[in-house]
Chain A
Amino acid sequence: MTKPADFPPPFRTADYVAAPSDPPEERIDVGVLIVGAGPAGLACGIRLGQLLEEAPEVRERLGEVPVAILEKGKQAGSHLLSGAVVNPRSLRRLFKGRKRLDEMPFYGPVEHESVYFLTHKSALRIPAPPTMKNEGNYVASLSRLGRWLAEQAEEAGAMLLPETVAEKLLVSDGRARGVRTGDKGRGRNGQPLGNFEPGSDLVAKVTVLAEGTQGHLSGVALDRFGLTGENPQVWALGVKEVWKVKRPLGRVIHTLGWPLRGGANFREFGGSFIYPMGEDMLTLGMVVGLDYRDVELSVHDLLQELKLHTLVRKLLEGGERVEWGAKTIPEGGFLALPKQLHAPGLLITGDGAGLVNVPALKGIHYAIESGRLAAEAAFASLQRGQTPATPGALAGYDEALRESFVWKDLLEVRNMRPAFGRGLILGGALAGVMTATKGRFPRRDLRLERDADVDLIRTDRAKSYPAPDGKLTFDKLSSVFASGNKTRDDQPNHIVLQREVPQDIALLWERMCPAQVYEATETGVDVTPSNCVQCGAISAKGGRLTPPEGGSGPEYTLT
């Protein structure tokens, strides 16, 4: 059978790198430019605000707009999606002496938790693996937390620029100079429409990439500056829903097993989560590694199937779905980290850098800490009167990261995900040993394989996907609607893809995409880009996602 890597997308990094070209009077200058108003970017903006408050002379040098944060979504939070159970340590550190935990928009501390191994008909309670204990952690909606962090960032003096896409990385003399923002008002064929507004060169002393999973310029930068590590990054796709429910859930639930198949040949690694959101809401989601092999696998449909299990159905009885969303999670962990996370004038943070602890299902607090450390490195460089674009000026960021708990945690669990490539049982056993030895086993690190390199198989898995009933189970199009997506149709296709591919590849994409963007045809694949919720799955499996016009995509509020 074929594999997606045989049909690489016609994507060229060079298309997204440019020297500043606007005439000086049109160019926009800012001090520190942060790309992405997610937890990493906002933490960076907040920390910079704190530091600049105490150092007016540095602030002076940064000009009229010392800190600018670009966000491609309609507002902060529109493109943020996670479970989530958050480890508060980074937020405590970031807001030390300024804000208490009870002032932050959480849905409460984790009080009870259970882990189940599911079969089609039963739910076996199993002890929570030590990496998954959540005592002292808090349930949150990342979208909502993002909105709150954005308010703090603005109060700290950062200028938030929503509906603005960072399309190209500005580089000259081997140094990052800022970004060129995306055009607005182009038609389907790229032609300028009546209200066409070209992008601008946004020039900064330091550019911080905080774009999240499959970050557009993060990928471009890693390539351009030769920062990619030995192992490729790998991803999982998470699809989730938020429900209004009649009875409070009261505990955090994780499940393994059904509806995923444990056999090693399927390579279906993942599970589900069900988290309480206060008294009257809960969120549930299905997360599956994109190294799965079966063309017919559809994570969205697995989630629909999951809801039919008695354990889950009971929880949702009498309730109503209020939101839906999907997003990828970088799963390579330590082994997939880039060689270094800085380049002249550039810092890379958060999920875009791959700072996620897969066994613990945690990434938000690492994103926040990395954003904070990026702010400190940028500030230190500016304070020293250096030009941060000088090679080595921002090396302090990588040094600080390596000394932080982020590094220590990721190092310890670095081989767990690859172990699960061997199937649930063997993987589970290996993971157990790794935990017991705190990562000292195995002595030689396992290797990661690119998701797109995985050989495909085809089963009749799709037969058992439930027909949507519109009450408990839903089809993809109405789910895209529930994500708040109202993307303008008449704009260029932002997905870079080979269109004439064999049926199996087209079907793979059709099933994989939670938003029904791809459709297999007789000659290959058709694309409906306006459905896209920018989850990033396509980039892992043979295509390449680039950002559409600013403001497009989902409008998450509770994910």
Chain B
Amino acid sequence: MKIAVCVKQIPEGNSRIDPGTKRLDRGGEGTLNAFDANAVEEALRLKDSTGEGEVVLLSLGLAKAQDALRKALAMGADRAVLISDDAAAGSDLVATSYALAKALEREGADVILFGQQAGDSDGAVLWAAVADRLRMPVVSQAAEITHADGKLTVKRQTEFGYDVIEAPLPAVVAVSDAINEPRYPSLKGIMGAKSKPQETVTLADLGVEADRAGEQGSRTEVYALNDPPARGDSKKIDDDGNAAQAIFDFLAEKRLV
């Protein structure tokens, strides 16, 4: 069974938006997104449960995304493919999902996993777009996945409780952070990561047309950065015995009780 995991690199430390490009400042070193670590862990568990298979990592990012990929390889993934191309800079969800879908077609995986959200929220909801392009079933917020007879049974966590959904392979699943506790890579794993196959491909290698990449291939844009609006009038009162009533009235006014 081939399991592909889409991972994303996020900047280290406290993030900053570059006032010039108005995009996340990706200049610093990067690290593996915590939610993608859940996806990598789940992929490894699925592979362990079937006793055979391959876990491939895919990432669309800068050359420095190698650090994030290396961490995932250290956890036990077998191989990594980095889509690195200047032409991809400024890609929004439409462009990113297109490039990723092309790369995933090339891999022909049985299961495609995503983490549920990216720390810098650039990648949130990407999975559903990728699944549509690949014409595969998609299940998100997976809190548990089991595999049997060419099907995945997924426990999906929603606002109303847990659904149980079955999807035939090949399928796309986005895992929630409740699904597992990612393993720490062993020292041997970290040291072995370097020698695992890491391939860098360009958009052209994937057959992504120039007009479907980067800003050209995007359908959204960023105009400006602003300070957040003030929270509104903030009130502070001293308790003279009536504070509880004051809070209650406040909540009632806001229709919260």
Do B191 and A184 have beta carbons less than 8 Å apart? no
Whether A75 sits at the interface, judged by CB under 8 Å, is: yes
Q: Which of A77, A195, A199, A200 contacts B182 (CB 8 A)?
A: A195
Mark out the residues of chain B between 8 and 31 whose CB falls within 8 Å of any chain A CB in the assembled complex.
Answer: 12-14, 28-29, 31
Residue of B nearest to A185 (CB): B184
> Is A298's CB within 8 Å of the partner chain B?
no
Question: Would A65 and B184 count as touching, CB distance under 8 A?
Answer: no
CA distance A77 to B67 in the complex (A): 15
- B11 CB to nearest A CB, Å: 9
User: Of A164, A195, A555, A557, which one neighbours B181 at CB under 8 angstroms?
Assistant: A195
Say yes or no: A161 contacts B187, CB within 8 Å.
yes
The answer to whether A75 and B29 touch (CB under 8 A), given A195-B181, A484-B14, is yes
Distance of B193 from chain A, by nearest CB (Å): 10
**In angstroms, how far is the closest chain A Cβ from the Cβ of B76?**
12
Chain A hits for B191, CB < 8 A: 28, 65, 68, 159, 161
Q: Mark A164-177, 1 if CB is under 8 A from B, else 0.
A: 10000000000000
- Please give, as numbers and ranges, the residues of chain B lying within 8 Å of A470 by CB-CB distance: none
Known: A161-B191, A557-B28. A197 touches B186 (CB 8 A): yes
**Closest chain B residue, CB of each to CB of A26:** B188
| A181 at interface by CB-CB < 8 Å | yes
Residue A74 CB within 8 A of the other chain = yes
Q: Are B14 and A482 in contact (CB under 8 A)?
A: yes
> What per-residue 1/0 map shows which CB atoms of A54-82 lie under 8 Å from chain B?
00000000000100100000110110000
Instruction: List residues 182-213 of chain B with CB under 8 A from any CB of chain A.
Output: 182-188, 190-191, 194
Within 153-197 of B, Cβ neighbours of A (below 8 Å) are at 181-188, 190-191, 194
Query: Which of B13, B31, B67, B184 has a CB less than 8 Å from the CB of A184?
Result: B184
Closest B-chain residue to A164, C-beta based? B187
The residues of B that contact A200 with a CB separation of less than 8 Å are 186-188
- Chain A 184-203 near chain B by CB (<8 Å), digits 1 or 0: 11000000011101011010
Whether the Cβ atoms of A555 and B12 lie closer than 8 Å is yes
Neighbouring A residues of B12 by C-beta, 8 Å? 74-75, 78, 484, 555, 557
Report how far A161 CA is from B188 CA in the complex, Å.
Answer: 10
Residues of B within 8 A of A372 (CB): none
* Chain B, Cβ-Cβ closest to A551: B184
**Cβ of A293 under 8 Å from chain B:** no
Interface residues on B, range: 10 to 19
Task: Find the B residue at minimum CB distance from A557.
Answer: B13
Question: Who on chain B is nearest to A555 by CB?
Answer: B13
Question: Using Cβ atoms and an 8 Å threshold, which residues of chain A touch B190?
Answer: 161, 164
Give bound CA distance, A556 to B186, whole Å: 25
Q: How far is the CA of A555 from the CA of B188 in the complex (A)?
A: 24
Q: Min CB distance, A388 to chain B, in Å? A: 21
- In the assembly, what is the distance between CA of A199 and CA of B67, in Å? 22
CB distance from B72 to the nearest CB of A (A): 14
A147 to B, closest residue via Cβ: B29
If A195-B182, A555-B13 touch, does A74 touch B31 (CB 8 Å cutoff)?
yes
User: Of A77, A197, A482, A557, which one neighbours B184 at CB under 8 angstroms?
Assistant: A197
Q: In the complex, are the beta carbons of A181 and B182 less than 8 A apart?
A: no
Q: With a 10 A CB-CB cut-off, give which of B12, B13, B14, B184 has the most chain A CB atoms.
A: B13
* B181 contacts A194, C-beta separation under 8 Å: yes
Q: How far is the CB of B179 from chain A (nearest CB, A)?
A: 12
Chain B residues contacting A202 (CB-CB under 8 Å) are 187
CA distance A161 to B191 in the complex (A): 8
- Which of B183, B184, B186, B188 has the most chain A CB atoms closer than 10 A to its own CB? B184
Hey, which chain A residues are within 8 Å of B28, CB to CB?
557
Task: Give the distance in Å from the alpha carbon of A484 to the alpha carbon of B16 in the complex.
Answer: 12
Closest to B11 in A: A557
On whether A159 and B14 interact (CB within 8 A), knowing A28-B188, A185-B184, A199-B187, the answer reads no
Query: Nearest chain A CB to B67's CB is how many angstroms away?
Result: 8
User: B188 contacts A197, CB within 8 Å?
Assistant: no
Q: Please, how many angstroms separate the alpha-carbon atoms of A77 and B29 in the complex?
A: 10
Cβ of A556: which chain B residues have Cβ within 8 Å of it? 13
A199 to B187, CA, bound (A): 8
CA distance A351 to B183 in the complex (A): 34
Interface centre among B67, B185, B187 (most CB of A within 10 A): B187
Chain B's closest residue to A484 (CB) is B13
User: Do residues A181 and B187 form an inter-chain contact, with CB atoms below 8 A?
Assistant: yes
Which of B12, B31, B182, B183 has the most CB atoms of chain A within a 10 A radius of its CB? B12
Most A-side CB within 10 Å, residue of B28, B29, B182, B185: B29
Chain B min CB distance to A179 (Å):
11
Q: Is B187 touching A195 in the complex (CB atoms < 8 A)?
A: no
Complexed CA–CA distance, A199 and B184 (Å)? 11
Query: B51 → chain A, closest Cβ, in Å?
Result: 22
Residues of B within 8 A of A199 (CB): 187
Instruction: Out of A159, A184, A185, name the residue touching B194 (CB < 8 Å).
Output: A159
3 residue pairs, one from A and one from B, having the closest CB atoms: A197-B184, A184-B184, A484-B13
* A to B CB contacts below 8 Å, 25 in the list: A65-B191, A68-B191, A74-B12, A75-B29, A75-B67, A77-B29, A147-B29, A161-B187, A161-B190, A161-B191, A181-B187, A193-B181, A194-B181, A195-B182, A195-B183, A195-B184, A197-B186, A199-B187, A200-B186, A200-B187, A200-B188, A484-B14, A556-B13, A557-B13, A557-B29
Other A-B contacts than A28-B187, A161-B191, A195-B183, 13 sampled, CB-CB below 8 A, are A26-B188, A75-B67, A78-B12, A159-B191, A159-B194, A161-B190, A193-B181, A195-B182, A197-B184, A200-B188, A555-B12, A556-B13, A557-B29
